[in-house]
Amino acid sequence: MMISLVTTEAFQRLSLALAIGILVGIERGWQDRDVAAGKRVAGIRTYGLSSFLGGFCGFLQPMIGPVLPTAIFGFFCITVLLFSRLQAVREEDYSATGAIAAIMVFALGFGAAVADMTVTAASAVAVTVLLAAREPLHGFLRQLTWLELRAALILLTMTVVILPILPNEAVDRWQLINPFELWMMTILVGGVSFAGYILIKLSGARAGILLTGASGGIVSSTALTLSFARQSMQMRPLSPLLSAGAMLAGTVSLVRVLLICGVIAPAVFLELAPSLAAAAAVFAVGAGLSALSRRADEGADFTPRNPLEVMVVLRFALVLAVVMVVTRMTMIVFGTQSLIALAFITGLGDLDAITLVVARLPNAQVPADAAARAIAVAAFANLLAKTVLAASMGSIGYAVRLAIAGVFATLAGTAGLFLV
């Protein structure tokens, strides 16, 4: 019985090794599908055999030791590199991807025989996806600017270099500022904003007003509302569609607040979700109705500022620290009843900072329902500020549609907050 189980597992592992090679071979063969037969260094059969050879070496190693499997792997690498060299000289194509993929397939086949099968299979899928993403990745690199690369490096530096060395405890005598938590919240908002920025860059500046609106809501719904307001004055026939884009930005902004609360304060999220979800739904419906009222032949030219410029990051961290100190000092002096007024004033300028600060307040100091009400008031204040911007900078049609949607969203949010 034991021998039967061992044999069954061996067949499963060798079958996985063969399947890994075939999977990668299909992707490689598809990439070179226009090349004549016999002109490729490796195809489906070669990758399948390579992976199976690695799996068989892994199967033999416990019985014969590591010397022969290592020698076979060395001979395999030399063979692959030799044939890749001949192909490179003939075609003047010096890409090393094929050779590295073949060696990787052998290693994955070996892993299928000696390591965890689930991890090995997942690794094979990840490798295949990376190989198949050649054109999108190359296209992304062609569009990537130095400022965007620098922004990504800033985000990595913030996360990997600076965050681990910050003290994870209050550093002031009033126990208000925790550098680790402050920087973590800055990374959270900066990362979400940068993801939205990249989405806009990948879709193109003129990929469509609605897509730009939805993406711009991740970066800055206020900036997008102002940008679309100005464009509505220049392109009045597009005001309905521009207002739809602004409503989508508002929808995404509210969803982002919920996501932030869900990550750092699940209890506040549960209290806040009925309110902001209802408001976001109203905005989404309003966006749909406005979008259906008129078609646009061209997209809006909205290019957001890179959200991870050094000064932008430092400015947000400073704003967040100030809001954190003012909020907690105000509550110490005036009590929790001052939180609503403070949230309204702060929300006029920035929704993320007050959301992060209120959500992080201890539950013993501010109950989850009170924190949810404060964030909802901040969201209403932010909506009011965007409505004023739309009225002062945009066309009448743009401002009226956004104001009507804002009124209904506020009513729905209020009902969700107090009736649930």
pLDDT in tens, 83-127: 878 777 777 666 777 888 889 999 999 999 998 999 999 999 989
| Residues 166/183, Cβ–Cβ less than 8 Å | yes
pLDDT value for 324: 66
Res 110: pLDDT: 93
Tokens of 13: 């592992």
In this prediction, residue 163 has a pLDDT band, given cuts at 50, 70 and 90, of confident
Is the pLDDT higher at 343 or at 49? 49
Tokens of 377: 């008031």
Average pLDDT over residues 265-289: 90
Q: Which of 109-118, 121-130, 181-190, 228-237 has the lowest mean pLDDT?
A: 181-190
How many residues can be counted in the chain?
420
Give the pLDDT mean for 325-341. Answer: 70
Query: Which residue has better confidence, 363 or 79?
Result: 79
CB under 8 A, 24+ apart: contacts of 45-48: 46/102, 47/21, 47/22, 47/101, 47/102, 47/105, 48/18, 48/21, 48/22
- The yes-or-no verdict on residue 17 having pLDDT over 60 is yes
Predicted local distance difference test score (pLDDT) of residue 372: 86
Q: Domain boundaries in the chain? A: 2-132, 143-419
Q: How far is CA 98 from CA 42, 85, 122, 130, 289, in A?
A: 8, 11, 20, 13, 51
Model confidence pLDDT, tens digit, residues 284-322: 999 888 877 654 444 444 455 565 666 666 776 777 677
Q: Tokens 């209904």 correspond to what residue? A: 408
Distance between CA atoms of 367 and 296, rounded to whole angstroms? Answer: 47
Percent of the chain past pLDDT 70, that is, above it, reads 76
Is pLDDT above 90 for 358? no
Q: C-alpha distances in angstroms, 3 versus 6, 8, 15, 115?
A: 5, 9, 18, 20
Q: How confident is the model at residue 55 (pLDDT cuts 50, 70, 90)?
A: very high
DSSP state of 162: I
71 has a pLDDT exceeding 70 = yes
